[in-house]
Amino acid sequence: MAPDTVSLRYFLVLAQELNFTRAAARIGIAQPALSARMRRLEAELGTALLVRNTRSVVLTTAGAALAESAPPALAALDRAWDTARSAAAGELGTLRIGYSLSAGAETAPALVDRLLRGNSGLEVGAVPMATPEISPAVADGRIDAGITRGEQPGRGVRRFLLRRERIGVQLAQHHPLAAHPEIEIADAAAYPLRLPDRAANPVIHDQLSAVFRDTRPHPRFHTPAVSFDMSQRDLRDGVTLAPAGEAAVTASPAGLTWRPLRGAPSLTMHLVLPREQSPLHRRIRAVAKTLAHELHWLAD
């Protein structure tokens, strides 16, 4: 049976000091207690480690060998303990995150960056996914976490509010409404409104269209033939508007801008985790919560 590590660490201090009084003071225990520890350690090993007399301590051949070999062994053991603690704290492992394309402009990269910077033992992979597929993928373990726009339906998962965004419209910089710091909903409804394909995200499609439910005459909605066109070609006509969350500010290509709609409700982004959570899941939850607070993602 291997000796207890506390006695072994005490022995190493004694091997350096070669004096029981100084070693006991350095450790912070009484000298008789240190002497008893060393006798017990020698009994466990079945050999003498020290030659004692009234004035000095000398290491035996076995003691010298132990003093040389024990430090790297204890360092390796310390690393093993640290690894176990890191795994228990969710700071070690591989994390797979799925995110909706609209979350890829700012939210997902910010969370991935924070996870990587704050947890050197984590490997993080993030892939864009169709929004309706994210919650089922989290539930059955294909991915560890998801970021979705809107509170998507699905069983076997828990959803945490990650971000709240004002609703506005993306439009050409030369559009007549671009001169306004805020746009009235009725004024926006007078122009053609481009909505994302409902199949891509029914929750957000319905929330955006509901903003204009009470306007008269009814607005003219249309869905682009190419979803997530990064160039936003259809908005460059200076007429069409695209209802969108505030994250569009950072995602707008040259020539386009974003303006908030006065009185419109908020859109939300959610972190999706399995119902039964491991230390790794609790770690991403804690990091996401801190990040949302620091970046004011949940400010009213």
pLDDT of amino acid 1? 47
Is the pLDDT at 182 greater than 70? The verdict is: yes
Give per-residue pLDDT as tens, 210-231.
Answer: 999 888 888 888 887 655 566 6
Is the pLDDT at 135 greater than 90? The verdict is: yes
Is the pLDDT at 258 greater than 80? The verdict is: yes
Q: What are the distances in angstroms from CA 111 to CA 93, 100, 166, 221, 271? A: 16, 14, 20, 33, 10
> Where, residue-wise, is CATH 3.40.190.290 in the chain?
89-300
Give 89-300's CATH code, choosing from 3.20.20.70, 3.40.50.300, 1.20.910.10, 3.40.190.290.
3.40.190.290
Is the pLDDT at 87 greater than 70? The verdict is: no
CA–CA separation, 284 and 91 (whole Å): 9
Angle at 291 between CA 113 and CA 106, to 5 degrees: 55
Is the pLDDT at 86 greater than 70? The verdict is: no
Count of other CB atoms within 10 angstroms of residue 136: 16
5-88 folds as: Arc Repressor Mutant, subunit A (1.10.10)
Tokens 């910077």 sit on residue: 117
Is the pLDDT at 292 greater than 90? The verdict is: yes
pLDDT of amino acid 82? 63
3-state helix, strand, coil in the chain (%, to 5): 45, 25, 35
3-state SS assignment for residue 208: helix
> Where, residue-wise, is CATH 1.10.10.10 in the chain?
5-88
Q: 34 versus 105: which is more confidently predicted?
A: 34
Banded model confidence at residue 30, pLDDT cuts 50, 70, 90? very high
117 CB-side CA count, 13 A: 8
Q: What's the rounded mean pLDDT across residues 139-153?
A: 91
Q: Is the pTM of this model over 0.85?
A: no
**What is the Cα Rg of the chain in Å?**
32
Sequence-ordered strand ranges (E) for 1-120: 50-52, 57-59, 92-99
Q: What percent of the chain shows pLDDT beyond 90?
A: 42
CA–CA separation, 14 and 58 (whole Å): 10
Q: What's the rounded mean pLDDT across residues 252-281?
A: 90
Banded model confidence at residue 154, pLDDT cuts 50, 70, 90? confident
CA–CA separation, 63 and 49 (whole Å): 4
Count of other CB atoms within 10 angstroms of residue 224: 17
Confirm if 146 and 98 have CB atoms less than 8 A apart. yes
